[in-house]
């Protein structure tokens, strides 16, 4: 876990750097020992969280777990640290997860284990640091969006009798932000993500379990989704299917489908002709009570 002195020092230094700068702690392992099902002891076998803190005096008590995309083969920096910089400017304390990947030999449930443990850890740290334990969101892009939607539909309340205090925490996010997400592993699947997640010949039961539009219930947290019609990597139908499932279950959501733009866009400032989804998302976060009203 973070050392309180380290957090104080980071916040102190944040007061002397420009608001656009990014201040983060060193990555910390999710588990004190090896992760469950670890294939070795290399860096690729150790899931980690990196904290990115708002400038001193600007934190609003909300936290966000960030899951970069990359087809379960790599992790895209602009969908990790890039999002943290944007959210830090809104006063949100951020944590970027380095989760295990199919390209390094991992398959489900390793990725979900990492995401669930990370959410529990963020909640435990919020409790420790005086942040709001009921304002903890998750944001994921592309395959990171699939992992985020998996946790949004496969969470649990924690183990009250666990000796590890982190494991006592719920893994349920309070809301989700899904950016051009992989959702379905069926007709509209991204084949590379599916293979990296489940291998060459996944069982029908696994495909159903992790086609997350089929797993939505009334307990699924509120979600913000965005996609572009021109996305040729992950078809827009993925977001449409998930939004339809949320609607049927009575779960609040916002869906933004933009005509122009491809895949992997990230933020508009990333220079890839991304639509203004960040402004739309900030508005949604405010009406959900996740951000204070200006």
Q: Give the pLDDT score at 169.
A: 98
Count other Cβ atoms within 10 Å, centred on residue 282. 17
pTM assigned to the model: 0.91
- Assign 104 to helix, strand or coil: helix
Q: Which tens digits make up the pLDDT trace of 23-56?
A: 667 899 999 999 999 999 999 999 999 999 999 9
- Assign 63 to helix, strand or coil: strand
- Note whether 50 and 30 are within 8 A (CB): no
Mean pLDDT (the chain, rounded): 92
Q: Give the pLDDT score at 19.
A: 33
Q: Report the helix count and the strand count for the chain, using DSSP H and E.
A: 8, 9
**Confidence tier at 269 by pLDDT (50, 70, 90):** confident
Model confidence at 6: pLDDT above 90: no
- Per DSSP, helices labelled H in the chain are 4-14, 81-89, 110-129, 143-153, 191-198, 204-209, 237-249, 277-287
Fold category of 4-287 in CATH: Rossmann fold (3.40.50)
Model confidence at 114: pLDDT above 90: yes
> Cα(109)–Cα(104) distance, rounded to whole angstroms?
14
Residue with tokens 């005086």: 130
- Exposed (0-12), middle (13-18) or buried (19+): which is 51, by Cβ within 10 Å? buried
Residue 175 CB contacts under 8 Å (≥ 6 apart), including other chains: 137, 138, 221, 222, 223, 224, 285, 288, 290
Q: Which tens digits make up the pLDDT trace of 57-113?
A: 999 999 999 999 999 999 999 999 999 999 999 999 999 999 999 999 999 999 999
């Amino acid at each position: 876990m973070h050392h309180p002195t380290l957090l104080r020092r980071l916040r102190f230094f944040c007061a002397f750097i420009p608001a656009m700068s990014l201040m983060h702690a060193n990555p910390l392992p999710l588990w004190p020992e090896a992760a469950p099902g670890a294939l070795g002891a290399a860096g690729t076998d150790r899931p980690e969280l990196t904290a990115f803190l708002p400038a001193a005096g600007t934190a609003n008590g909300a936290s966000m777990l960030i899951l970069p995309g990359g087809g379960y083969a790599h992790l895209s920096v602009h969908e990790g640290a890039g999002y943290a910089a944007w959210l830090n400017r809104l006063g949100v304390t951020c944590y970027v997860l380095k989760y295990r990947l199919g390209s390094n030999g991992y398959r489900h449930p390793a990725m979900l284990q990492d995401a669930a443990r990370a959410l529990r850890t963020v909640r435990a740290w919020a409790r420790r640091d005086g942040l709001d334990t009921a304002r903890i969101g998750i944001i994921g892009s592309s395959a990171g969006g699939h992992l985020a939607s998996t946790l949004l539909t496969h969470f649990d309340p924690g183990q009250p009798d666990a000796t590890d205090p982190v494991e006592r925490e719920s893994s349920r996010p309070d809301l989700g932000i899904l950016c051009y997400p992989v959702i379905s592993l069926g007709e509209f699947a991204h084949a590379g993500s599916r293979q990296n997640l489940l291998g060459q010949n996944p069982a029908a039961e696994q495909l159903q379990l992790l086609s997350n539009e089929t797993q939505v219930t009334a307990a699924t947290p509120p979600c913000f989704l965005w996609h572009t019609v021109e996305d040729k990597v992950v078809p827009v139908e993925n977001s449409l299917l998930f939004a339809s499932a949320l609607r049927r279950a009575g779960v609040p959501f916002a869906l933004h489908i933009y005509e122009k733009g491809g895949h992997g866009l990230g933020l508009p400032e990333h220079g890839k002709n991304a639509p203004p989804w960040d402004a739309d998302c900030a508005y949604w976060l405010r009406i959900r009570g996740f951000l204070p009203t200006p």
